[in-house]
Amino acid sequence: MWDQILSGIALAWTPAAMAATLGGLALGILVGAIPGLTASITVAILTPITFFLPPTVGIGLLLGIYKGAVYGGSIPAVLINTPGTPAAAATALDGNMLAKKGEARSALQMSLYASVFGDLFATFILFAVAAPLANFAVKFSSPEYTLLFIGSLTLIATVSGSDPRKGMLAATLGALVGCIGLDPMSGSQRFVFGIPDLMGGITLVPLLIGMFALSEVLDQIGNSRRKREKVAVLQTSGPSLTWSQFRQSVPTMVRSSSIGAFIGALPGLGAEIACWVCYGVAKRRSAQPELFGKGALEGVAAAESGNNATVPATLIPMLVFGIPGDVVTAVLLGAFIAQGLTPGPMLFINNGGIIYSLYALLVVTNIALIFFGLVAIRMFARVAEIPVGFVLSCVVVMCFAGAYSINSSGFDLVVMVIGGVVGLLMRRTNVPIPPFIIAVLLAPLLESNLRQTLAFSEGSLTIFATRPIAGALLGLMLVVVGLYLGRLFLARRRRAAPN
């Protein structure tokens, strides 16, 4: 193990890997600070470029963007009361109130230090948990993976968006799209309709770029026709954060980082949910809950440490089981596969050096985030003035260049544009996009494991209950589903009650 750690540090400590990761971090902060651009969009657009780079350079770039964007969203949340990314929504509550009271500097500094704290905390959890979990996961076989994929997809579908049924709809449609092409076991054509380009299936990255980036562009083009209020950018002024203010928030940050890391490790949840859960828990546990929503530094600390802690934690299910927890990790999974690295327990045995190099890069970006963040806070007034119309049109050009570069295929561009229109329709009808994308990615794995299991058991489903680990997973899934249905039943009864 120590050999792998040392070789990982050596791989990370190269000028190219460092430059790509730190460049990604700076770019991530910039796009996170521009409302409308998110980590998912940026990572999706730049992923094709990473296919042409060494693994530590390409994946380091994407990790830097991911981490930078989650932090960057907090700056406009504080200064213009508009979260740059959905993960910074809870930060706006107290951060903007503090800015209105003339304490923007301390709010932004608390947001930055809490982000670094949460991120570092979860990086160590990733380091401590992933490898032992991978050792355990080596014992998994087809039945266990089948249950794991079904459980993860169900969880992602039910927690994404406001209506679990629409999440299930998105996941099922995504799995069907994942079936397009040649059957991996028999080579038969499925849903090809005589189109030769469909024989190899739908390429994930163009579809993903279309559904996230192009749909966002079309959405914003529609929004540009509505009257918008001019946004006032508050000044980065007021007193700096004191050591005693920071120290008072440390227990909140430890608690929120733990919750954020736990939520991040569960597929489908992620930073958007973590920020609200951590904010709610911090308010309940606070000695002065009445200050929350009126300008509590503790509120900023809770939301930011919680949402940033999810970033390293989402890598746990992705690296150990090959299950992406959110859209960004789905893209990262695609980048890993394109680099010839198949996430799963064997990755830790065969390519441990690369895994530890990514851990090292995560730690480096944490430290660098302090300096980059302080610069970004000073520069935000200029970032807020970047005309969104120009940014969007350049984003479209990058989308086309990125999607084309994967296979030099015009069909990929068609898939991307269709994905953009479908993504817009899904946004407008509240059908969540993440379960769709993750299902496209997981469907072939789920199918091959399910069919192998049933072929082995001659069609008997009892195999899922008779194997010890599979039985335990099935039991856990049944308990979770039972609790969920029980909660739904109680909620309906409460609503139906006269008072």
Partner 1 sequence: MTEETDVAGESTTNAYDTLIAALSAVVAIGVVWIAARDIAGGSIDTWSDPRSPAFFPFVLGIVLFIVAGAIALWPRPAQPATARKPELAATAAIVAGAVLLAGYVYGFFALGFVTASALAIIGLALLAGERRWPILLPLAIVFPLVLKIVAERALAILLPKGLFW
User: Binding residues for partner 1, per CB under 8 A?
Assistant: 49, 52-53, 162-163, 165-166, 168-169, 172-173, 175-176, 179, 183, 185-186, 188-191, 214, 217-226, 387-390, 392-394, 396-398, 400-401, 404-405, 408, 410, 413-414, 417, 420-421, 424, 428-431, 443, 447, 450-451, 454-455, 459, 491, 495-496
Nearer to partner 1, 243 or 390 (CB): 390
The amino acid at residue 263 is I
- Helical spans, DSSP H, in 292-409: 297-321, 327-338, 345-350, 352-384, 388-407
The amino acid at residue 332 is L
Smallest separation (angstroms) from partner 1 to the CB of 445: 11
Smallest separation (angstroms) from partner 1 to the CB of 205: 14
Nearer to partner 1, 188 or 244 (CB): 188
Helix (H, G, I), strand (E, B) or coil at 274: helix
Question: Could you give the CA distance from residue 16 to residue 29 in angstroms, rounded to a whole number?
Answer: 20
Question: Could you give the CA distance from residue 39 to residue 30 in angstroms, rounded to a whole number?
Answer: 10
Nearer to partner 1, 90 or 209 (CB): 209
Q: Other CB atoms closer than 10 Å to residue 482's CB: what's the count?
A: 10
φ, ψ (nearest 5 deg) of residue 185: -95, -40
Smallest separation (angstroms) from partner 1 to the CB of 413: 5
Helix (H, G, I), strand (E, B) or coil at 189: strand
Smallest separation (angstroms) from partner 1 to the CB of 201: 13
Smallest separation (angstroms) from partner 1 to the CB of 499: 12
Nearer to partner 1, 7 or 457 (CB): 457
Smallest separation (angstroms) from partner 1 to the CB of 321: 20
Smallest separation (angstroms) from partner 1 to the CB of 206: 11
Question: Could you give the CA distance from residue 286 to residue 254 in angstroms, rounded to a whole number?
Answer: 14
Nearer to partner 1, 53 or 469 (CB): 53
Q: CB of 488 within 8 A of CB of 164?
A: no
Smallest separation (angstroms) from partner 1 to the CB of 224: 4
The amino acid at residue 271 is A
Nearer to partner 1, 20 or 364 (CB): 20
Smallest separation (angstroms) from partner 1 to the CB of 430: 6
The amino acid at residue 16 is A
Nearer to partner 1, 164 or 471 (CB): 164
The amino acid at residue 341 is L
Nearer to partner 1, 175 or 318 (CB): 175
Q: Kindly tell me the burial class for residue 37, based on how many C-beta atoms sit within 10 Å of its own C-beta (0-12, 13-18, 19 or more).
A: buried
Residues whose CB is less than 8 angstroms from the CB of residue 14 and which lie 6 or more positions away in sequence, other chains included: 56
Helix (H, G, I), strand (E, B) or coil at 161: coil
Using N-to-C axis directions, what is the helix angle for 297-321 and 104-137, rounded to 10°?
20
Question: Could you give the CA distance from residue 335 to residue 479 in angstroms, rounded to a whole number?
Answer: 35
Smallest separation (angstroms) from partner 1 to the CB of 294: 24
Nearer to partner 1, 342 or 393 (CB): 393
φ, ψ (nearest 5 deg) of residue 405: -65, -20
Do β-strands 189-190 and 181-182 pair in parallel, antiparallel, or remain unpaired?
A: antiparallel
Nearer to partner 1, 183 or 245 (CB): 183
Closest CA to 286 of 304, 298, 273, 301: 298
Smallest separation (angstroms) from partner 1 to the CB of 291: 27
Smallest separation (angstroms) from partner 1 to the CB of 431: 7
Nearer to partner 1, 247 or 494 (CB): 494
Nearer to partner 1, 387 or 468 (CB): 387
- Helical spans, DSSP H, in 140-242: 142-159, 164-178, 204-209, 215-223
Residues whose CB is less than 8 angstroms from the CB of residue 21 and which lie 6 or more positions away in sequence, other chains included: 60, 61, 63, 64, 361, 364, 365
Residues whose CB is less than 8 angstroms from the CB of residue 280 and which lie 6 or more positions away in sequence, other chains included: none
